[in-house]
């Protein structure tokens, strides 16, 4: 069983912000896997798919970014998810805009949602997909930047990055080894 978690904020006003790249990519993964977000459980909006007989849970925490770990911890416990079968997708200010980077494990870096997940679960050895959002031309504090709406000029770039992240998540959920997913999508 696999758990794919896209990080973001649940309110409509955050829908097109940089901090919702994970939500968008999770939606792309769900579409690829033919799953619909139909239920709410464990403080998350959840879609379910079956790939090769294996159940895949795709989740968007409803706890807001800084408390994402609560939902992830609950989902992992409910579905008995091993850390290597957890995949988290999120925006990353440390990467240039539109870049997609996949890692098998790592730290939270500057990301509060990842800090929450690591703090709640106590694990760092789980795969993650980072979608770069840094714009060298933007001259505002990070907290304001991540909650700002994506510029129309950049919309296609970010839509493409989220789709690529969704494809990588779907490949992972299809049983591809994370190293292979990294080679294919990094």
Q: Are 120 and 70 in contact (CB under 8 A)?
A: yes
Q: Is 21 helix (H, G, I), strand (E, B) or coil?
A: helix
Bridge-based pairing of strands 100-103 and 44-51 is: unpaired
Q: 111 catalytic, yes or no? A: no
d(C-alpha 7, C-alpha 4), whole Å? 10
- Strand boundaries in 35-149, DSSP class E: 37-41, 44-51, 54-61, 86-96, 100-103, 128-134
Q: Which of 4, 6, 19, 49 is labelled catalytic?
A: 19
Give the pair of three-digit tokens for residue 97. Answer: 């805009």
d(C-alpha 33, C-alpha 66), whole Å? 28
Spatial CA neighbour of 169 closest among 71, 92, 56, 69: 56
Q: Which residues are catalytic?
A: 19
């Amino acid at each position: 069983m696999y758990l794919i978690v896209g990080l973001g904020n649940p309110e409509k006003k955050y829908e097109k912000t940089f901090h919702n790249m994970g939500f968008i990519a999770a939606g792309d993964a769900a579409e690829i896997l033919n799953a619909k977000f139909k239920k709410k459980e464990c403080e998350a909006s959840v879609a379910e798919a079956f790939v090769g007989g294996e159940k895949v849970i795709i989740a968007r925490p409803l706890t807001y970014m800084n408390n994402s770990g609560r939902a992830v911890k609950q989902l992992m416990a409910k579905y008995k998810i091993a850390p290597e079968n957890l995949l988290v997708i999120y925006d990353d200010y440390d990467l240039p805009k539109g870049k997609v980077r996949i890692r098998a494990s790592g730290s939270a870096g500057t990301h509060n949602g990842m800090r929450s997940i690591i703090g709640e679960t106590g694990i760092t050895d789980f795969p993650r997909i980072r979608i770069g959002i840094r714009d060298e031309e933007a001259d505002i504090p990070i907290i304001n930047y991540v909650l700002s709406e994506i510029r129309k000029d950049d919309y296609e770039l970010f839509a493409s990055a989220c789709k690529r992240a969704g494809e990588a998540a779907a490949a992972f959920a299809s049983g591809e080894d994370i190293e292979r997913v990294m080679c294919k999508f990094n």
